[in-house]
Amino acid sequence: MAAVTYLEAIRQGIWEEMERDSSVFVLGEDVGVYGGAFKLTEGMLERFGEDRVVDTPISESAIVGAAIGAALMGMRPIAEMQFADFISCAFDQITNFAAKCRYRWGAGVPLVIRGPSGGGIHGGPYHSQNPEMHYVHTPGLKVVAPSTVYDAKGLIKSAIRDEDPVVYFEHKFLYRRLKEELPEGDWTVPIGKADIKRTGSDISVITYGAMVHLALEAAATLANDGIELEVVDLRTLVPLDKERVLDSVKKTSKVILLHEDVRTGGMAGELAAIIAEEAFEYLDGPIMRITAPDTPVPYSPPLEEFFLPKTSDIIRVARQLAAY
């Protein structure tokens, strides 16, 4: 079987679910005739028709609002945000309505909101953000951020089948850079399960999304110095797989929390608090964060390079921590 890209894996996942379940449909800006800004929905209009591949006006609030309504009426909509940056336009619909329907009225909203996030593609401040924490902070939502081709396909299928709203952040830097051969047949990756992408004994690097690959690169380099990193890929931010995170920290006793999102209020801070509360007596060094600084994502390529966490950052911090 031919290797497929991360982007193609998501497309396959959606396609297969639409074949399997006629209540699944996609809506978003230019998802139909144009096939999506990144060509993720290419060919779907021809295959499934305009009732199930809906081009919308440029209004994220309307897209999500319509999707919630359809979901309440028994459909399984997949709402595309052309760039995850623009999800903030739909913030109220997502956080005050989709997230609270089950709690307030006992009405599940089986809705997927997906879109490309992340930098490294010289997209500047409006096309490079990582807005996951707004949704991690809102009870009632599930938040997913796959790092591999396999996880991307398995998780989009799980998200579509979930009875509650799932915000699915794909990383656009990985879209065409990753290729992997996928197994045949109908399989999924469960929401809420982290994955150990590399086992190691000395330092746990807990991360998600594109940063997983930087952590793996750093781990390969550091292994030559006898420093073994364990790379824990969260895959799902909510619900968090606390058990796997804590098990890894208890094993290695040292931890680096790594994400591409900015520092303040990031996932790393939340993880640091959980580790301090629940694994304090297993720590043999300070909990270290590697994140983007608290600024917008710069447009200038050298500034963007400075802004994003790099493999060399992980190597430097890991060496400090190993020697601590």
Partner 1 sequence: MPSNVIMPQMGESIFEGTLTKWLKKVGEPVKRDEPLFEISTDKVDSEIPAPASGVLSEIRVNEGETVQINTVVGVIAEEGAAASPAPAKVEMEDAPKPQAVQPAPQEPELTPEPEPAAAASRSVRSSPLVKRIAREEDVDLGQLEGTGLGGRITKKDILSHLSGRQGSDVPPSAAPAPRMPGTERSPAGSSEVVPMSAMRKSIAEHMLASRRTSAHVTTVFEVDLTRIVNIKNQHAQEFLEREGGKLSYMPFFIKTVAGALKEFPVVNASISGTDIIYKKDVNIGVAVALDWGLIVPVVKNADEKSFLGIAKTASSLAERARQKKLAPEDVQGGTFTISNPGVFGSLLGTPIINQPQVAILCIGAITKRPVVINDAIAIRSMAYLTLTFDHRLIDGAVADHFMSSLKNKLEQWDEPLF
Q: Is 252 in the site for partner 1 (CB under 8 A)?
A: yes
Q: Is 250 in the site for partner 1 (CB under 8 A)?
A: yes
Q: Active-site residue among 122, 127, 171, 213?
A: 127
Q: Are 203 and 218 in contact (CB under 8 A)?
A: no
Q: Is 281 in the site for partner 1 (CB under 8 A)?
A: yes
| Segment interacting with partner 1, rule: CB under 8 A, options 59-67, 161-169, 234-242, 274-282 | 274-282
| Of residues 135, 192, 117, the one with CA closest to residue 158 | 192
Q: How many residues bind partner 1 (CB under 8 A)?
A: 13
Radius of gyration (Cα) for the chain, nearest Å? 19
> What CA–CA distance (Å, rounded) separates 2 from 185?
14
Residue 127 is among the residues annotated as catalytic for this protein: yes
Q: Are 80 and 60 in contact (CB under 8 A)?
A: no
Q: Is 319 in the site for partner 1 (CB under 8 A)?
A: no
Among 33, 280, 301, 302, binds partner 1 (CB under 8 A): 280
Q: Is 186 in the site for partner 1 (CB under 8 A)?
A: no
Q: How far is the CB of 231 from partner 1 (least distance, A)?
A: 18
Q: Is 253 in the site for partner 1 (CB under 8 A)?
A: yes
Position 48: which residue type? F
> What CA–CA distance (Å, rounded) separates 322 from 226?
10
239: preceding bond cis by omega (within 30 degrees): yes
Q: What are residue 107's phi and psi, to 5 degrees? A: -110, 115
Q: Is 66 in the site for partner 1 (CB under 8 A)?
A: no
Q: What are residue 78's phi and psi, to 5 degrees? A: -120, 110
Q: Is 124 in the site for partner 1 (CB under 8 A)?
A: no
> What CA–CA distance (Å, rounded) separates 321 from 315?
10
Q: Is 323 in the site for partner 1 (CB under 8 A)?
A: yes
Q: Is 324 in the site for partner 1 (CB under 8 A)?
A: yes
Among 163, 284, 294, 305, binds partner 1 (CB under 8 A): 284
> What CA–CA distance (Å, rounded) separates 236 from 141?
11
Q: How far is the CB of 113 from partner 1 (least distance, A)?
A: 37
Residues that bind partner 1 (CB under 8 A): 247, 250-253, 280-285, 323-324
Q: Which residues are catalytic?
A: 127
